[in-house]
């Protein structure tokens, strides 16, 4: 299993960060430009990654003010889990961590690790930017 992580500190209380992340409609704002055909509800999203694949994901687990996990709701090119964890820093700020776990063979790992890391980093930076 390939695990890619990106962590950011957000200047908002944990409940506010969790509320934003637990609604899939908000995730479009976190996506890079190569994501299009976005459709979402509070619990799921479907989109196309330019030159790669179509993905449909759904929230499979919510732990209030701690974690949100999303998994594919349709057949994906590989098994993947997208998880956000949020932790209260005790000073009105929140540490948010985006963890992408993907079951990649060696060839896919070489091709996809870089873009997946860029995606995770992009999403955490956008989260910090949006929730200023």
pLDDT digits (tens, 9 = 90+) for 57-114: 999 999 999 999 999 999 888 899 999 999 999 999 999 999 999 999 999 899 889 9
pLDDT at 27: 97
pLDDT at 112: 87
**CA 72 from centre of chain:** 12
Domain ranges across the chain: 2-130
Average pLDDT score over residue span 46-61: 89
* CATH number attached to the domain at 2-130: 3.30.530.20
What are the CA-CA distances from residue 88 to residues 9, 20, 58, 59, 94 (Å)?
10, 15, 25, 22, 5
Residue 13 to residue 85: CA distance in whole angstroms: 14
Stated pTM of the model: 0.93
């Amino acid at each position: 299993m390939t695990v890619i992580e990106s962590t950011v500190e957000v200047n908002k209380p944990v409940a506010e960060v969790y509320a934003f992340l637990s609604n899939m409609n908000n995730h479009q704002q976190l996506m890079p430009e190569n994501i299009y055909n976005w459709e979402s509800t509070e619990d799921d999203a479907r989109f196309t990654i330019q030159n790669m694949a179509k993905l449909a994901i759904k929230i499979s687990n919510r732990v209030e003010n701690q974690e949100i996990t999303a998994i594919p709701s349709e057949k994906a090119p590989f098994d993947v889990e997208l998880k956000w964890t949020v932790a209260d820093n005790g000073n009105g700020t929140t540490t948010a961590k985006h963890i992408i776990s993907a079951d990649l063979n060696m060839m896919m790992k070489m091709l996809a690790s870089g873009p997946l890391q860029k995606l995770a980093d992009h999403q955490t930076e956008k989260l910090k930017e949006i929730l200023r």
